[in-house]
Structure 1
């Protein structure tokens, strides 16, 4: 359903721009799914086997690159002076409300009467109904509130929201969300030269380990690391997918196995799973968790070269939108973390949240530069 909506939006914006003759460079991002289809057929021709229909290949190409398809809409909205920070604030308040309701009335969410922070089956999920979706949004909000919120919300409000966002991430036990928070906190330390806080940053993880050593994201991480040496016995689906994605990218060099063949929503019953002995595994039989790593899906379906180009394109977009602001590097690092550990380019929730925060940072940065320029101009006039 969301793919149909995206197609209708693309058609509307395309024909609007065509009539008004005002295309811009970011509109070229709509060609990424087209490139995906072409690369898939190049791979199929090169390897001499046709494993999927044109419909599946085309639809999967549309699904896989929602991030790039959505960027032009945000660019257009930015030109029309849409205030993204207000939208983000509404989403954050909505998320906090969902978190509180889930905590106090868990039977409305997970049909249990207690929340157990040590058990992944009884984690807080909020209105997103996925702990990682809730946590990633809050971690991105944390990055915005800590580094850009003061100018828009005021000091007290930005600090309050930052603390709330961090607490939700911690209590969600999301490893991805916590990693993103640490990345943006590191940027804040560097930007503000608050080296006195470095001791706290080094101390907190150890204190957390000591106090919550049995909490899900600690115990699960330790267990996952222990499985790395024996892929055949591993139950960590992300590692399984990443491991085999490198093998497939090597075997199907340079174009990968093609769209809708590995780690994506339309790859059910793919010949690739059978060829590599994966179809008998529970994850692939139930079709559960196999698209949790966007990096694995990209490498397997499109190979090393196209995957690298997509990441480079993403980084250039971030740096271009933020005009090379110092936070750009940290934002790109967060993008990498999300894409390794979560569905990203293909998942509209993570894509929209990340783009929304990116444009919030852009607008905050631009507004601050205008204020500084205005103050400098007024200072020159008064002197």
Structure 2
């Protein structure tokens, strides 16, 4: 593995950092003020987002993902990963560059598996940043960490599919610009376990879709994006909205989740870097017991461990991205699982120490650390909980030694 970033990545890093310095960091307060001005009706888009999207387009910092498509930035996973880290330093920054989840994953799915009509009707406006999207998989009635449990039905009826089910943690549904969802459900409950599921495109204005509630995360509503509980009752869509074919849902999911986890983990490292930055600034500017807090040895220990952990998590994530580019997602399965466990844990530890460094201020909204913590804690569940990824890692590890023991026995 080549440890130096490519020239293309270095150039984009410089441009992204300049954009963040000039437009994003100075407007964090503006974003918060515009959200507060909405009062109780928070499901609106702050104008600063739309203003900065125009500037990002003008500067060519737009749609940098989609590594295997001429519609995207032409970057490999390894080249794109460090750009995610920069965007991740501010929670809403990825959207400014049209590189936010779940839109990136949905666009990749439509690009890979959609037909020409899907691309014209949904992919193009998503790529232009005119609309947003959602991915509906998790369900409240079953343990969705095992996706074979999902009960939502997708049943053929002539030239249409009829969808019935209840979903939750449907991130993005609260956004007024959210127009299309990819829904995962069962087309054949009697098929082989991993051939029961399919994925289908469902416009959110289709009759039969009801938003039950927006789910809070540790009290945060995450408006205007949000996470919805949704009922689908006799929702009818054209049969051609089914992606790839019946029983191909897990195949689509695996194609989507690998890159998505790279993006999530590198954004997470960006969050950890921001928390470490806030922690160091606080420690160097506050005095307790006659000296700067930074000079108390316990804080030297915590800052050192934060730096070590961040570097390790970044290198592991870049290794996974490199392997995805060179040997494919299947071979990189263990590395992808490892980064999904490691990155949020590292970020949570760094944020927790940063909160401690800020004292009572750390748990308020004043420094943004409490919201950071809520978001990162969620990532230990999103895209599969830690336990599922640890199970994958352990099974792959046991497999190596079972093969050795079998060979020795023979």
TM-score, normalised to structure 2's length?
0.27
Determine which structure has the larger helix proportion and give its number.
1
Higher RCO, Cα 8 Å, sep 6+: 1
